Amino acid sequence: MATADQFISWFRQSSPYIHSHRGKTFVLMIPGDGVAHPNFSNIIHDIALLNSLGVRLVLVHGMRPQIDAELIVRGVEPVFHGNVRVTNDAALPAVISAAGQLRIAIEAELSMGLANSPMHGARIRVSSGNFVVAKPIGVHDGVDFCHTGEIRRLDIDTIQRQLDNGDIVLLSPLGYSPSGEVFNLLMEEVATTIAIGLSAEKIIALGSHKGALDADGQLIRELTNQHRIGEAIDSDESLLKACLSACNAGVRRGHLISYQEDGALLQELFTRDGAGTLINQGDYDQVRSATIEDIGGILELIQPLERDGTLVRRSRELLETELDRFTLIERDGMITACAALYPFADQPIAEVACVVVHPQYRKSQRGELLLSHLEKQARGQGIKQLFVLTTRTAHWFREKGFETATLDDLPEQKKMLYNYQRSSQVFIKDID
């Protein structure tokens, strides 16, 4: 049991996440297996908490096993072509029935408010409706998919209005055509299209595993394009692909977490390490160590700042010897940002230097991404503090958690090399 001190410290540590999530739009997708899992009621409690904290939530549920169960009851054989259900006339009533039952069951769970339960006082409003306009996917490989459809358009304005109202928008993977027909859609398509349409901050997929797994079954904490997605996963593959495509289309972050693990959603959203796999927007952005081929690109990036005095001049020769200290962000073969970490032998402190983002790529968190990379790298080397000397970027570093320090706080070797003419300010950040 946590002590009061632990609780207070934990609650305070989550406050930056609470501030940052408030007013943001998250689209959650949970397959039918997840809705049927015993942990689903805990997920509902956590969704209620997010709603209370001012997160704008859209919840899209799947219903594959529930449709299969309805088909069995009706004695109808399920038909698939590839991985996609063929919703023929006999299957459509099963789809409608499964959707109705699931939607009502989820609405009921979100309406609970029993005393002594986490839902006490939540008073959640749920909105559902005909927000998705669909059309048939038609005939493929000679197979008529009948009432299986795809999205034609979304009523984004109405969804936004419900979210402005503080409602949770709950959507089944169904759409309606102007001819008045019902179409069975893929949950992943509904969730990604809505996330993109709403310019959501996050798309969060709840799958059967902890997150995306690599070939050895280990959790991939952060997905970059170094990971081939074929390498990851099995049953959660379509969820991961959906997150990746949403992120490639402008959704800022994707998360793949487990619906089986109690509290995974809160851990993912309110702790630094998270619980599952984080997918960053622009996974074309590769964060990697510098190699000798990068010298030209780094010089191109830093020389304009050396000329205007923002950075201390580094010769090509010096850069060559210090290359292993540099981390880069590359996009489509171009270096868009760099930063360097200079450790001091046997001391738990390192210098962050040469943090530069190409002017065209600023204000998209690349600087922050690099800094968090250097922090992780430093922690891995047992380093407990980072320092930076800067003349013009003090506020940026302060916003990233660096605090004003003095020359005396620096390692001896650095003090001796301090250039008094530059009058750089010293900032230190504890990263332990």
Residues lying near ligand COA in the complex (CB under 6 A): 305, 310, 353-357, 362-368, 390, 392-393, 395-396
Nearer to ligand COA, 98 or 369 (CB): 369
Q: How far is CA 154 from the centre of its chain?
A: 23
CB of 366 vs ligand COA, minimal distance in Å? 4
Nearer to ligand COA, 20 or 130 (CB): 20
Indicate the residue whose CB is closest to ligand COA.
Answer: 367
Nearer to ligand COA, 101 or 372 (CB): 372
In the block, tokens 């009921």 appear at: 108
CB of 109 vs ligand COA, minimal distance in Å? 39
What is the distance between the alpha carbons of residues 389 and 407, in angstroms, rounded to a whole number? 10
Nearest alpha-carbon partner for 33 in 60, 80, 65: 65
What is the distance between the alpha carbons of residues 341 and 355, in angstroms, rounded to a whole number? 10
What is the distance between the alpha carbons of residues 207 and 237, in angstroms, rounded to a whole number? 9
CB of 428 vs ligand COA, minimal distance in Å? 14
What is the distance between the alpha carbons of residues 389 and 282, in angstroms, rounded to a whole number? 30
CB of 314 vs ligand COA, minimal distance in Å? 12
- Residue 247: count other Cβ atoms within 10 Å of its Cβ: 23
Nearer to ligand COA, 88 or 365 (CB): 365
Nearer to ligand COA, 228 or 363 (CB): 363
Angle between helices 187-197 and 237-248 (to 10 degrees): 20
Can you point out the beta strands (E) in 201-348? 202-207, 222-223, 253-258, 277-280, 286-289, 326-331, 334-343
What is the distance between the alpha carbons of residues 135 and 177, in angstroms, rounded to a whole number? 6
CB of 189 vs ligand COA, minimal distance in Å? 31
Contact 259, 236 (CB under 8 A): no
What is the distance between the alpha carbons of residues 176 and 374, in angstroms, rounded to a whole number? 49
CB of 95 vs ligand COA, minimal distance in Å? 45
Nearer to ligand COA, 247 or 352 (CB): 352
CB of 335 vs ligand COA, minimal distance in Å? 12
Nearer to ligand COA, 97 or 336 (CB): 336
Nearer to ligand COA, 189 or 351 (CB): 351
CB of 14 vs ligand COA, minimal distance in Å? 22
Half-sphere exposure of residue 192: CA atoms within 13 angstroms, side-chain side: 21
Q: How far apart, in Å, are the Cα atoms of 75 and each of 32, 33, 36?
A: 20, 21, 22
What is the distance between the alpha carbons of residues 206 and 16, in angstroms, rounded to a whole number? 24
